[in-house]
Amino acid sequence: STFLFDDVEQIFGGTQIDLPVTFESSTVNYTMTDFEGNTSFPAVDPMAANNNVRKIVKTDQAGSSAGTTIGTPAGFATAIPLTLTDSKMTVRVWSPDANTPIRLKVENSNDPTQTCETETNTTLAGAWEYLVFDFANEASGTAALSFGLTNGWTYNMASIFMDFGTPGSTADKTYYFDDVYFGIYTSTKTQ
């Protein structure tokens, strides 16, 4: 007997991902899209067993722009309400090394040329910290938030890049992220 099959795919249920992203809901589709040598998957917080997070492995084959899109190619359920006066997002990050550049990019899921990127460095090694990303301070060589807003761009997707600008080394490196919020967030209040 001969059997043929084609187009095998895994269908994920749940509602479309939206901000804030906490990885705690059983009804949200937390599918992520990895690129250029990253691999990511759901994990338990290495510091707190009762918390769900996303683990990212920057493989030894990863490119310098390896990253993970937070969600599917459809983006968030609602647009990120960025303005020139309200231009910040917060992500809780765990890095094996201090002074690691972490880049956050927002874009229009329907037009990948409409983007804004910003970057900040970790200050801790082997510990969680809240990193604030200010899109009014765009990364060198990327479109300014003011340009995008003036031209009516909508940002409804975000991607995170661990150790941006550095290709994979001789060994895989593991990072974690959680608590992706619009605005400045701490564990006790949102500003």
* pLDDT of the chain, 191 residues: tens digit per residue: 776 665 554 455 789 999 999 999 999 999 999 999 999 999 999 999 999 999 999 999 999 999 999 999 999 999 999 999 999 999 999 999 999 999 999 999 999 999 999 999 999 999 999 999 999 999 999 999 999 999 999 999 999 999 999 998 888 999 999 999 999 987 753 43
* pLDDT value of position 171: 86
* pLDDT value of position 170: 80
| Sequential DSSP letters for 62-94 | --TT-EEESS-TT--SS-----SSS-EEEEEEE
* pLDDT value of position 10: 47
The answer to whether 177 and 56 are in contact (CB under 8 A) is: yes
Strand ranges inside 122-166, DSSP E: 127-134, 157-162
**Which residues are 103's β-sheet partners?**
119, 161
* Selection from 68, 62, 75 nearest residue 108 by Cα: 75
* pLDDT value of position 189: 39
* pLDDT value of position 12: 52
* pLDDT value of position 139: 97
Instruction: Output the pTM of the full model.
Output: 0.90
The answer to whether 157 and 69 are in contact (CB under 8 A) is: yes
pLDDT tens digits for range 63-91: 999 999 999 999 999 999 999 999 999 99
Length of the chain: 191
